[in-house]
């Protein structure tokens, strides 16, 4: 197998043993030669489905779906057939390479089938988290100019169709649509199970993921087919995926983790994934770990803490002995969580640092390195990270600065949809990509995360832009101005705290607080709703009229004492 050659440079099959050697010898271009050979054109779907079928894994399980009211499973062959059918439906409705298909669905097999079907035809997917309400949905559909949408009858009520001139086809997976919608199942059933690939270039878009910035609208990060190189390598080195594993990444595919590692990365290795429907529930999650014999589990500190809080009488009832290791992402992995895992489950948790923008794990506690508690680890081979000052100069060990990565890795977002200028802001200190996180490095090259620099909020691992929440609050008749910041919280990492200036004639009350909270919840998204409020005389502003996030951060920390 071609792959062995590269990996041959890194002793021991495809898992990473000699970190320093790999850093010296490995480059993603080497991997590209192994992966793509002389093929001018590629498609990530070919690699995750056809390649597995060609290797004799067609009858192996690709997807286990588990929800209260529905259990389903698909082998790679079965998935292939569904994906082909859906791809033909897109052909039928005239979607072509470069067009956009938005997917607004709860976790369900149809979501994954639609995603792959679109990618197979070169159609760009716009994933939308199911908790988004009308404003957030409108924003994403308008910005991306999506021509087609897959959703269900319940979520359809949040889609302002009359305001979306580009939207031609709406496919409904569950419940009754209306005369203007199509039924996903009958369309798929009526389509041929065979189809042709749309072969694309490495740099052609695969999906557009909207991610919050500190100020301004969410940015449509454009990810490309070439990301498969980074996902393949990190699935091997960071997640240590092996053919007999069962992998569960608990993130929703409305977020980068649920896309990159929810299905692409494990399927690049032919490894089956578990997708659990429904909301978080400590007991059900433990039951799922046991039932599906999950061997590699990727989740977030908030979820671990909630399971710990549920108590031994919950997690102790299930046999989690199949777990080889756990990985963590999205917020700082605290010592207590790591201790719990080591003592109770008998396995370590490997922290992984990365972002929607990076598309792949970047700085990690790799299995071949010693873990230093409190550190996010070291850059994966092929990635060069540094801590730089505001001019882009590298800082010596222990100095806190901007966490930066040398531009040019395969899973890097290639653009901000429709806003090249915004994209270029990330690279203002060439050759560095500036992450927006603060960090320091120690003398052994381990990195230590020190929070966001820019005011972007991270609540329970979910990324929320303060600007969007402020805009929503300002729409309320009682609010003249608003400033929003993340306040440290033991369980959720951060909660959203809102400072509001009231319109004349309004007085603060508990009821008004509840009303404002609900206003954001129903307009934007439940996870974006402030949990705390304080009334202020004015909101601090920078000279160019933006909310002064540094001052707000000070307020939040002082009040958090």
Instruction: Considering the complex, state which of residue 277 and residue 436 has its C-beta at the smaller distance from ligand PRX.
Output: 436
Tell me phi and psi for residue 259, to 5 degrees.
Answer: -95, -60
Q: Contact letters (x/-) for ligand PRX, 221-260, by CB under 6 A?
A: ----------------------------------xxx---
Restricted to residues 194-223, the positions that interact with ligand PRX (CB under 6 A) are 211
Residue 496 phi/psi, 5° resolution?
-90, 125
CB of 80 to ligand PRX, least distance (A): 29
Identify whether the C-beta of residue 30 lies closer than 8 Å to the C-beta of residue 6: yes
Contact present, 27 and 408 (Cβ < 8 Å): no
Q: Which two tokens stand for residue 327?
A: 């990985």
- Count the alpha carbons within 13 Å of 35 in the hemisphere toward its beta carbon: 26
Task: Please list every residue from 361 through 380 that binds ligand PRX, using CB under 6 A.
Answer: 376
Q: Which of 91, 331, 415, 494 binds ligand PRX (CB under 6 A)?
A: 331
The label of the residue with tokens 């988290």 reads: 129
Q: Does 57 bind ligand PRX (CB under 6 A)?
A: no
- Regarding 527 and contact with ligand PRX (CB under 6 A), the answer is no
> Taken in order 474, 479, 484, 490, is the CA torsion positive or negative?
negative
For residue 295, state whether it binds ligand PRX (rule: CB under 6 A).
Answer: no
Q: Please report how close the Cβ of residue 333 comes to ligand PRX at its closest, in angstroms.
A: 6
Q: CB of 85: closest distance to ligand PRX in angstroms?
A: 32
How many residues are listed for the chain in this entry?
A: 561
Stretch of residues binding ligand PRX (CB under 6 A), selected from 127-135, 305-313, 354-362, 505-513: 354-362
Q: What distance in Å separates the CA atoms of residue 151 and residue 155, rounded to the nearest whole number?
A: 6
| SS3 of 274-310 | EEECCCCCHHHHHHHHHHCCCCEEEECHHHHHHHHHH
Q: How far is the CB of 458 from ligand PRX (least distance, A)?
A: 5
Two tokens, residue 170: 């709406």
Beta bridge partners of 538: none
Stretch that binds ligand PRX, among 179-187, 326-334, 522-530, 533-541 (CB under 6 A): 326-334
Binding positions for ligand PRX, 407-466, rule CB under 6 A? 435-437, 449, 452, 458, 463
**64 or 354: whose CB is closer to ligand PRX?**
354
Instruction: Say if residues 510 and 488 touch (Cβ distance below 8 Å).
Output: no
Residues 462-491 that bind ligand PRX (CB under 6 A): 463
Point out which span in 62-70, 72-80, 323-331, 515-523 binds ligand PRX (CB under 6 A): 323-331
The token duo for 420 is 């090249």
The residues binding ligand PRX (CB under 6 A) are: 211, 255-257, 329-332, 351-356, 376, 435-437, 449, 452, 458, 463
């Amino acid at each position: 197998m071609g792959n062995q050659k590269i990996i041959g440079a890194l002793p021991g099959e495809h898992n990473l043993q000699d970190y320093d050697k790999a850093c010296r010898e490995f480059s993603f271009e080497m991997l590209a030669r192994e992966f793509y050979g002389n093929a001018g054109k590629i498609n990530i779907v070919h690699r995750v489905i056809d390649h597995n079928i060609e290797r004799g894994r067609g009858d192996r399980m690709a997807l286990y779906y588990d929800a209260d009211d529905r259990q389903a499973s698909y082998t790679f062959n079965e998935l292939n057939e569904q994906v082909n059918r859906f791809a033909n439906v897109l052909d039928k409705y005239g979607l072509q390479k470069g067009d956009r298909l938005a997917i607004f669905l709860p976790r369900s097999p149809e979501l994954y089938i639609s995603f792959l079907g679109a990618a197979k035809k070169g159609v760009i997917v716009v994933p939308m988290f199911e908790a988004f309400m009308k404003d957030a949905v409108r924003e994403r559909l308008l910005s991306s100019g999506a021509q087609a949408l897959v959703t269900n009858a319940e979520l359809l009520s949040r889609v302002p169709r009359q305001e979306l001139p580009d939207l031609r086809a709406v496919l409904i997976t569950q419940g009754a649509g209306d005369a203007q919608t199509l039924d996903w199942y009958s369309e798929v059933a009526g389509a041929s199970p065979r189809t042709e690939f749309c072969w694309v270039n490495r740099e052609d878009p695969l999906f557009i993921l909207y991610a919050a910035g500190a100020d301004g609208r969410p940015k449509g990060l454009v990810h490309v087919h070439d990301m498969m190189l980074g996902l393949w390598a990190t699935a091997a080195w960071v997640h240590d995926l092996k053919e007999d594993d069962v992998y569960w990444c608990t993130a929703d595919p409305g977020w980068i983790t649920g896309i990159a590692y929810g299905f692409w990365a494990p399927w690049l290795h032919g490894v089956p994934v578990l997708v659990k429907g429904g909301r978080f529930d400590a007991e059900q999650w433990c039951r799922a770990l046991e039932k599906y014999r999950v061997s590699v589990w990727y989740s977030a500190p908030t979820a671990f803490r909630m399971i710990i809080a549920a108590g031994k009488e919950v997690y102790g009832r299930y046999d989690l002995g199949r777990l080889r290791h756990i990985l963590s992402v999205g917020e700082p992995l605290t010592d207590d969580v790591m201790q719990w895992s080591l003592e109770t489950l008998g396995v370590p948790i490997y922290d992984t640092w990365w972002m929607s923008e990076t598309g792949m794990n970047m700085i990690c506690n790799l299995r071949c390195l010693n873990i230093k508690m409190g550190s996010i680890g070291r850059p994966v081979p092929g990635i060069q990270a540094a801590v730089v000052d505001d001019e882009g100069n590298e800082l010596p060990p222990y100095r806190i600065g901007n966490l930066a990565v040398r531009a040019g890795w395969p899973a890097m977002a290639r653009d901000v949809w429709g806003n090249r200028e915004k994209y270029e802001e990330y690279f203002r200190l060439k050759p560095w990509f500036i992450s927006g996180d603060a960090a320091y490095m120690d003398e052994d090259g381990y990195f230590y995360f020190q929070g966001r620099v820019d005011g972007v909020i991270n609540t329970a691992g979910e990324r929320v832009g303060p600007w969007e929440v402020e805009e929503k609050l300002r729409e309320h008749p009682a609010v003249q101005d608003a400033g929003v910041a993340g306040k440290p919280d033991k369980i959720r990492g951060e909660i959203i705290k809102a400072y509001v200036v009231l319109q004349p004639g309004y007085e603060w009350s508990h009821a008004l607080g509840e009303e404002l909270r609900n206003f954001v919840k129903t307009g934007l998204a439940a996870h974006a709703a402030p949990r705390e409020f304080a009334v202020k005389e004015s909101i601090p502003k920078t000279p160019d009229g933006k909310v002064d996030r540094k001052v707000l951060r000070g307020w939040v920390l002082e009040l958090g004492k």
